[in-house]
């Protein structure tokens, strides 16, 4: 099979769809891998690294994408990238099609492209093995992001996360106790913040209570969310429903009732966001003020940790990529975890609940 690895074109996206180690595994199995010139540069991989692994380096994205039976990406394809793809080919990436624009969906359906969403690869126990490491990275990053944007010189209210003797620490509220929420709790607690974590199920709250005795846990009822947001200096949204838009659980009224110049970090923004006031931002302009509250809503939050994120992603995704490379139809038929990740196939939509009226990429 011909496999294409284009350079990611979204702003501040330094990750890459295949590392040289991944290319070597596929080349040894007889596949031909085309890698765009400098596709891995942001993650610290040179063209020579890819050539030594057995890839063919191409200098045109049209060639890399146009020759591929399977396009391996990280971020959702842009419209021109979809137009370069051959009818009947396949693309794999963190697609988040529930929140994309309708014209992207239309192109996938019209060209009968098979779209495999890594974030929806799901095991029988409900876990998301490929999404997990990037969710963990995003969760861990929230503490360093919050520490920066609570500083006065970044527009914050001048709070140290951990406080000092005689001065209490920052109040951090985390909505969602999945992989991202758990790692966010770990990072904030490690920096000395006071952490309250909410979820709508007791099992993940029990795990948090056992692992982090210093954290406060609450059921995510509307009343509890209102109370928690009202006293928070930082609110992190970490809600995910695979294949669907993230539910909006924090209304504009709740945001309006928060402390002035508090900080919202919406990790669910790639699925539409879980705050009514959220809208996508980019790493070069990551924040905005609405209702007197600072919002950080960058969809590709781990895109600026290119090397760590690319390695972590390939560690989790490689065996699924091998299966797809050995035969798309056979892989999505034989492997139930991959079958759940198929968003479009043979001109039909699968495992995907669209936003009413479509969504926005926030970039193009």
Q: Catalytic site residues?
A: 96, 270
Task: Specify the residue for token string 């059921």.
Answer: 219
Phi/psi at 340 (nearest 5 deg)?
-70, -15
**Closest C-alpha among 170, 223, 178 to residue 201:** 178
Residue for token pair 């702003």: 11
The span from the CA of 240 to the CA of 139, in Å, is 13
Q: Cα(289)–Cα(283) distance, rounded to whole angstroms?
A: 16
Give dist(CA 68, CA 18) in Å, integer: 14
The structure tokens listed for 63 are: 């060639």
The C-alpha atoms of residue 153 and residue 143 are separated, in whole angstroms, by: 17
d(CA 285, CA 297): 10
- Residue 74 CA to residue 59 CA, distance in Å, equals 19
The closest alpha carbon to 211, from 174, 179, 186, belongs to 186
Q: Kindly state the helix (H) or strand (E) to which residue 311 belongs, with its residue range.
A: helix 306-325
**Phi first, then psi: what are they for 35, rounded to 5°?**
-115, 130
Residue with tokens 């861990």: 140
Contacts of 151 (CB under 8 A, 6+ apart): 158
Can you name the residues that pair with 5 across neighbouring β-strands? 35
| DSSP string for 240-253 | --TTSPPP--B-HH
Distance CA 349, CA 190 (A): 43
User: Across-strand partners of 2?
Assistant: 32
């Amino acid at each position: 099979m011909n496999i294409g690895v284009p350079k990611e074109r979204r702003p501040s996206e330094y990750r890459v769809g295949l590392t040289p180690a991944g290319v070597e595994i596929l080349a040894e199995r007889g596949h031909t891998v085309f890698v765009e010139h400098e596709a891995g540069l942001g993650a610290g991989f040179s063209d020579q690294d890819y050539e030594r692994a057995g890839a063919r380096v191409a200098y045109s994205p049209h060639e890399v994408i146009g020759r591929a039976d399977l396009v391996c990406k990280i971020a959702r394809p842009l419209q021109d990238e979809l137009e370069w793809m051959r009818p009947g080919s396949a693309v794999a990436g963190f697609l988040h099609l529930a929140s994309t624009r309708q014209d992207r969906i239309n192109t996938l359906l019209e060209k009968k492209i098979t779209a495999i969403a890594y974030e929806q690869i799901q095991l029988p126990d409900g876990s998301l093995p490929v999404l997990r490491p990037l969710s963990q990275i995003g969760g861990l990053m929230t503490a360093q992001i919050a520490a920066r944007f609570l500083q006065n010189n970044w527009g914050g209210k001048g709070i140290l996360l951990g406080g000092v003797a005689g001065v209490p620490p920052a109040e951090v509220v985390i909505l969602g106790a999945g992989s991202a929420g758990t790692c966010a709790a770990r990072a904030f607690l490690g920096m000395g913040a006071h952490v309250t974590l909410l979820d709508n199920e007791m099992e993940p709250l029990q795990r948090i209570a056992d692992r982090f005795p210093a954290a406060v846990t609450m059921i995510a009822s509307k009343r509890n969310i209102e109370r928690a947001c009202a006293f928070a200096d930082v609110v992190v949204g970490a809600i995910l429903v695979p294949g669907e838009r993230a539910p909006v659980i924090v209304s504009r009224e709740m945001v309006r009732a928060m402390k002035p110049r508090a900080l919202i970090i919406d990790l669910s923004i790639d699925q539409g966001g879980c705050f009514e006031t959220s809208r996508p931002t980019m790493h070069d302009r990551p924040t905005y003020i609405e209702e007197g509250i600072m919002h950080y809503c960058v969809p590709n939050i781990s895109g600026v940790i290119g090397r760590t994120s690319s390695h972590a992603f390939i560690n989790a995704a490689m065996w699924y990529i091998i299966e797809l490379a050995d035969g798309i139809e056979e892989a999505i038929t034989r492997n139930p975890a991959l079958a759940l990740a198929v968003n479009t196939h043979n001109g039909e939509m699968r495992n995907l609940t669209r936003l009413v009226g479509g969504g926005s990429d926030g970039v193009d």
